[in-house]
Amino acid sequence: MPKASHDVCDIFCFNEEKVSLLKREIKGIEQLAPLFKALADPTRLKIVYALSRDELCVCDVASIIGSSVAAASHHLRLLRSSGLARYRREGKMVFYRLADECVATILETARRHQVHNENHS
């Protein structure tokens, strides 16, 4: 006889009302995957954090992450195409900022979660 696992139900039954409600609520949630994919890269996460603090030119970003301007520009383009960042040109300079405060809120919430976990480990 197989040994019972403590992290799996011993029988299969589910709450039809809860499942039905949640199935309706999660429709379209997969559209958030590109957002989290963009944030999953450590370098882009650093850039998003830096942009949450201030508007920065591409050269600033390159200096902050310790990369070439071309590499920083590549990451910034991905963030822009993911809807996380916006840019403006001022003469020969290009400045980036977060697309909206929601991105900063996501980051701050994640940091609070990290601190909470560190305090409770």
CATH of the domain at 89: 1.10.10.10
Based on the structure, what is the number of domains in the chain?
Answer: 1
Q: 52: how many CB neighbours lie within 10 A of its CB?
A: 16
Question: Does residue 11 belong to any structural domain of this protein?
Answer: no
Give this prediction's pTM. 0.80
Question: Does residue 109 belong to any structural domain of this protein?
Answer: yes
Candidates 120, 119, 38; CA nearest to 77 is 38
In a 3-state reduction of DSSP, which class is residue 56? strand
Which residues constitute the domain of residue 42?
Answer: 32-119
- From first to last of its 121 residues, the chain has per-residue pLDDT tens of 556 678 888 889 999 999 999 999 998 898 889 889 999 999 999 999 999 999 999 999 999 999 999 999 999 999 999 999 999 999 999 999 999 999 999 999 999 999 988 998 7
